[in-house]
Chain A
Amino acid sequence: MTSAATADVPVAQARGLSKRYGGFVAVDAIDFEVRPGEVLGMLGPNGAGKSTTMRMMYQVTPPSSGELTLFGMRSGRDARRIKARLGVVPQIDNLDEDLSVRDNLRIHARYHGLGPTEAAERSDALLAFVGLEAKARQQVRSLSGGMKRRLTLARGLVSDPDLVILDEPTTGLDPQVRLALWDKLEALRTAGATLMLSTHYMDEAERLCDRLLIMDAGRVVAAGTPRGLIAERLDPYVIEGRLKGGDDGPYRRLADAVGATAQRSGDRLSVFVPDGRAALERLLGDGVDPDRAFVRPSNLEDLFLALTGRELRE
């Protein structure tokens, strides 16, 4: 998929990249880079600035300030040449309902400058890749939601791009369709493609991404590998308990002993601890009902909530 360039030359690089709409700051001076052959995930709540960042990358939103380069070319000035090397899978399916499934791919191949024969061959190969050969001559509106998503993915790959940008590729899909799409993305990853995807699903980020940018309110609040980020910022285990009217004293005493705070959310309590087994034994020794407390490894969701807070985002 990608031209296997030297690993230290980034595919894309942003420095102080910002986008403002009037007084609203959608993206606030972010720095990041996309390295060749990696899958970079952008994880963040709604309104974190993920889509705006991606739109700036695929040249349909001009940055307000900062620097953005793709393939060594300056964003904006070289827009056409940059877009020629990108594949884009937008958040909303914007397939052409007036064209057949196959023609949706063919016309996008033509938009990318492929000749008629090459466009047809490439379209057929990608229909096979996403399992839509049998639907080639049908109208787009006859496809199910999952098929449309697969076709949108195929469309993003039609020019054999050096970087594929996927904006929330599995949002709103049922679990079977998500799994099918993940298989396709993993196949691309194995083939050495460079992908950048946004998501607000932790399992998706953990499963697919080599590196993550965690975004909140227009800023990058953390960057690194999923495991590395968790290890860097959280103790490796979480004790979770349900009070059911019981005393929260044992949890508070445990938290004091390990130098953490017990986080309470309604009836539930959680404490991050360095040693899960020792912590659980301590709780049980302190009179906690064994059916109401358990240990699990810290995960990305814990990290995400620790970084972006627990309040609802609109």
Chain B
Amino acid sequence: MIDPASVGRVWLRNAWVFRGRWHYGILPNFFEPVFYLLGMGLGLGYYVSTGGAFGGDYLTYIAPGLVAASAMNGASFETTYNVFVKLHFGRIYDATIATPVGIQDVTVGEASWAVTRATIYGGTFLIVTLFFGVAVGWHLIPALLAIVLIGFAFAALGLAFTSVVPTIDLFSYYFTLFLTPSFLFSDIFFPVAERFPPAAAAIAEFTPLYRSVQLMRGVLTEGGGPVAGDVAYLLLFGTALLAFAVWRMRVRMVV
């Protein structure tokens, strides 16, 4: 029912659009991590880690989580605003599904492109951390795979949300009430369980960004913890939500 060649052509359309404007997109992708690592890692981190907290190196503590968050943002922008505009304002999917490409191919194709964008975002951040001495060469392959998986989970979540919202205004709920708290309470900047009651920490630990940060720390940090649980969580989470989005997009488009 899903045709891989058609999925690839939907991906290709997005790649063509990106090819025409990548230089606008890449530069902010590069500077964002530089600013974060300078400001929060070296600036704020000086005061935070004075006295030995975070092993005296706050930058190294926050960098893996920031890589994960960057992959999350890349996938989220693609699958929320961009997909919504194509769906409702440009109506380009109406034209696409009148060809042999089906709506299910469009949905999976958009997910695959969002994973690509997440990999570009997260990958750029990762490379910048090399220069700050956080990542080392042999981390790159597992870290890139982790970025792809995080991108997949958030692409599926974004598509699932986009497939049910009636107006573009509701995306501010997604960003402000879901992604922002995820960013703040997913162990990127501090261990949530040490500062909040167990019940609150348990909620945080169940969120996809928290699992993503654990995964990224696991692959980037010397002697990082086991990651199999996080990998399984993100795979299941992404697969279930992508299946939901495929179904909802069909309900929406085939009437």
Contact = CB atoms under 8 A, between A and B. Distances in A.
B29 interface: no
A269 interface: no
A171 interface: no
Interface in B35-94: 90-92, 94
A58 B98 contact: yes
A94 B3 contact: no
B16 A103 contact: yes
A21 B255 CA distance: 9
Interface in A77-107: 79-81, 83-84, 86, 88, 90, 92, 94-99, 103, 107
A113 B100 contact: yes
Contacts, number: 66
Interface in A39-80: 58-62, 79-80
A111 B102 contact: no
Given A80-B102, A107-B12, A94 B17 contact: no
A245 B92 CA distance: 56
Contacts of A83: 98-100
B199 interface: no
A99 B19 CA distance: 11
Contacts of B6: 111
Interface residues of B, number: 23
Contacts of A98: 17, 90
B100 A112 contact: yes
Contacts of B17: 98-99
A159 B100 CA distance: 11
A252 interface: no
Q: How large is the interface on A (under 10, 10 to 19, 20 to 34, 35 or more residues)?
A: 20 to 34
A178 interface: no
Contacts of A155: 95
A282 interface: no
A167 B213 CA distance: 51
Contacts of B3: 80
Interface in B1-51: 3, 5-6, 9, 12-13, 16-17
B254 interface: yes
A253 interface: no
A99 B100 contact: no
The secondary-structure label for the interface of chain A is loop
A162 B152 CA distance: 39
B243 interface: no
Most central of B13, B94, B101 by chain A CB within 10 Å: B13
10 contacts: A58-B98, A61-B254, A86-B98, A90-B95, A94-B92, A99-B17, A110-B12, A111-B6, A111-B101, A155-B95
Interface of A: 21, 58-62, 79-81, 83-84, 86, 88, 90, 92, 94-99, 103, 107-108, 110-113, 155, 159
Given A83-B99, A84-B100, A94-B90, 17 more contacts: A58-B98, A60-B98, A61-B255, A83-B100, A86-B98, A88-B95, A92-B91, A94-B91, A94-B92, A95-B92, A96-B13, A98-B90, A103-B16, A108-B99, A110-B9, A111-B100, A159-B99
Interface of B: 3, 5-6, 9, 12-13, 16-17, 90-92, 94-102, 253-255
Which 10 A-B pairs give the minimum distances between C-beta atoms? A111-B99, A88-B98, A94-B91, A98-B17, A94-B95, A84-B100, A111-B101, A83-B100, A96-B92, A80-B100
